Amino acid sequence: MDKSCIFCRIVAGEIPARLLFEDDELVAFADIAGQAPVHLLVVPKRHLPHLFEAGAADEALLGRMITAATELARGAGLEGSGFRLVMNCLEGGGQSVFHLHLHLLGGRPFAWPPG
C-alpha cells in the first residue's frame, strides 16, 4: 500500500467510498468527478502505478478488471445502450491518480475520437 495514494487509502478503508463491487483483487466505486451518468472506477487492491508497471504476471488481473466492469455495466442497465472503458497511462495519457484503474462510462452517447 502506498499511503500517499488515494485509491490505496480507499481500498484500506481509510477514505470512505460506497463500494459497488469487491472481490479478493478489485474494488469498484463511483467516480467523484463523473463525466457521464454512469462513471465507475474499477481499481486493483494491489498498488500498481500505471500500465507500464504491469507485466505478464498481471494479465489475469487486467482481464478480471474488464469482466468486472462489464458486469457492473450490465447491473447499471447499460446492456442495451452500450458503454466505454478507458484506462489512462501517465500524465500525457490523461492519468491523474497514479494507481492503475479502469473507467466505466455510460448513460450518454460518446464521440470518436475521444478528447
Banded model confidence at residue 1, pLDDT cuts 50, 70, 90: confident
* Band (114; pLDDT cuts 50, 70, 90): confident
- Say what the pLDDT of residue 33 is: 92
Answer yes or no: is 111 within a domain: no
**What torsion, rounded to 10 degrees, do the Cα atoms 69, 79, 83, 20 define?**
-40
Across 33-46, average pLDDT: 97
43 within some domain: yes
Quick check: is 60 in a domain? yes
CATH number of the domain encompassing residue 70: 3.30.428.10
24 found inside a domain: yes
| 14 domain residue, yes or no | yes
20 domain-assigned: yes
List residues with catalytic annotation.
101
User: What's the grid cell of residue 100?
Assistant: 492503475
Work out how many domains the chain is built from and give that number: 1
Residue 97 domain-assigned (yes or no): no
Band (pLDDT 50/70/90 cuts) for residue 94 is very high
Domain range enclosing 67: 6-83
Domain assignment present for 48: yes
